[in-house]
């Protein structure tokens, strides 16, 4: 299982909380907060797994996901979508675009860790 995770999240407090949780579990966490430059950061960081917020400044996480899946070098990158948008149509769209899992804020620490482990391990998991 990969241990490098890139967290694309523009809210500093959420980034810091997730980073703390994942670092404590042994993950090497890096962060990025701008949707417009997120694809370049994925290419630079080459993470084992990506945690991607849906609502970002500059570009939406769904648009970023669509582009990741269209590029051969990132088509298989495990992606956990993270969002405050909990409607089933939003989750269905993210999964249709190729997200491995979809986690709605707020979430528990255990839920984040468990979902990320499943995603990084190659599991397809549609989460709450």
Q: Does some domain include residue 1?
A: no
Q: How many CA atoms lie within 13 A of 35 on its CB side?
A: 17
Residue 101 is given by DSSP the state: E
- β-pairing verdict for 4-8 and 79-83: unpaired
pTM for the full model?
A: 0.92
Q: Does some domain include residue 36?
A: yes
Q: How many CA atoms lie within 13 A of 40 on its CB side?
A: 6
- State how many domains the chain has: 1
Q: Does some domain include residue 37?
A: yes
Q: Does some domain include residue 106?
A: yes
pLDDT score at 105 = 87
Q: What is the pLDDT of residues 46-89, one digit of tens each?
A: 999 999 999 999 999 999 999 999 999 999 999 999 988 777 88
């Amino acid at each position: 299982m990969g241990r490098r995770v890139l967290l694309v999240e523009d809210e500093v407090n959420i980034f810091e909380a997730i980073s703390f949780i994942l670092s404590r579990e042994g993950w090497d966490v890096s962060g990025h907060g701008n949707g417009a430059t997120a694809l370049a950061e994925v290419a630079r960081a080459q993470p084992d797994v990506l945690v991607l917020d849906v609502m970002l400044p500059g570009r939406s996480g769904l648009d970023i996901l669509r582009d990741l899946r269209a590029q051969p070098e990132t088509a298989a990158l495990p992606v956990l979508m993270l969002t405050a948008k909990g409607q089933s149509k939003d989750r269905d769209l993210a999964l249709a675009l190729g997200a491995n899992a979809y986690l709605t804020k707020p979430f528990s620490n255990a839920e984040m860790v468990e979902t990320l482990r499943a995603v990084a391990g190659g599991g397809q998991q549609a989460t709450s």
